[in-house]
Amino acid sequence: MSEAGQTALMGYHELLGMRVVEWSDGLAVVELVADNTHLNRSGIVHGGVLTSMLDSALSLAGLYCEAPGRVRRGMTLSLTTTFVGPATTGMLRATGRVRGGGRKVYMSNGEVTGANGELLAIAEGAFRRRSGSESLEGIPE
C-alpha cells in the first residue's frame, strides 16, 4: 500500500478515479468518488463505471503480492454484472473476494455499494493469473 493506505493504479483506473483502499490475499476494495463526469444521459452513474470497479476489485482479490518490488498480474476471463439500484454521485465502494480456483484460474465475486451502504451492483467472474504470477512471490515490477 502507498501513502494514506492506498495503492496506486495506472492508466484507465486513474482516468476513472479509482483507488485501492484495502488489499490482502483474497480481498480487494476499490473506491471511486463519482461526479458528473461518471453520469450517463439519465443522470445516474454509467453501468460501465460500476462494471470497471467490479472487474478491478474481483481481479485484484486474487493478485495480492506483499513482496517489495514484485507484482502479480492477471486477466479477466469472464465477468457477469447485475445492476441492483441506481448509483448517484458520491463515494462508491467495490469489494471483491476470491471464492475458489487453483494456481492459474480463480473465481471471485463482489459488490458495489453507495455512500450510504446501499447495494448498487453485484458480480462474479473468472480470472487467470499470468505466467510467473501463480505464486505469492510474484514477478519483478
Q: Which of 111, 110, 90, 107 is nearest to 98 (CA)?
A: 107
Nearest to 28 by CA among 48, 1, 46, 50: 1
Q: Report d(CA 56, CA 53) in Å as an integer.
A: 5
Amino acid making up residue 32: L
For residue 16, pLDDT over 90 is answered with yes
State the Cα–Cα distance between residues 115 and 56, nearest whole angstrom.
19
> What Cα–Cα distance (Å) separates residue 125 from each residue in 59, 63, 91, 112, 140?
8, 14, 24, 14, 26
**For residue range 76-113, what is the model confidence (pLDDT) as tens digits?**
999 999 999 999 999 999 999 999 999 999 999 999 99
Report d(CA 111, CA 45) in Å as an integer: 15
Residue 8: per-residue pLDDT: 55
How many Cβ atoms sit within 10 Å of the Cβ of residue 41?
Answer: 6
Instruction: Say if residue 9's pLDDT is above 90.
Output: no
The average confidence (pLDDT) of the chain is: 93
pLDDT tens-digit map of 104-137 = 999 999 999 999 999 999 999 999 999 999 999 9
pTM: 0.92
Is residue 1 pLDDT above 50, yes or no?
A: no
Partnered with residue 100 across adjacent β-strands are: 107
Domains of the chain (ranges plus CATH)? 3-136 (3.10.129.10)
Q: Span 9-17, mean pLDDT?
A: 87
Q: Which pLDDT does position 5 carry in this prediction?
A: 44
What digits encode the pLDDT tens for the residues 40-55? 999 999 999 999 999 9
